[in-house]
Structure 1
């Protein structure tokens, strides 16, 4: 983060400008942090979804194996 402008050492007109600049900088940082968080959350969600799909696929495979075995046993 850039150094905050020292507000005490300025005239009133400059004080207002500095306050605005500082607020803008803060808002920028906040937006960046939010975007980063959102990106990470998206990644984590995608990972979780992948894992879920894998687990489902494994279960489905196991089921089909069982079904095949059951058919064999019936004959």
Structure 2
């Protein structure tokens, strides 16, 4: 139950793999992607 064990979190870190014990962290979308830069505010005159 250590670095050599495939089923433990420490073993997954040692091997550099992912699984149920150590899922991949998904990146959150940045603020820039939420607000589209192409659409500019229309100025009322």
Instruction: Choose between structure 1 and 2: higher helix proportion.
Output: 1
Q: TM-score, normalised by structure 2?
A: 0.35
Select the structure of larger CA radius of gyration. Answer: 1
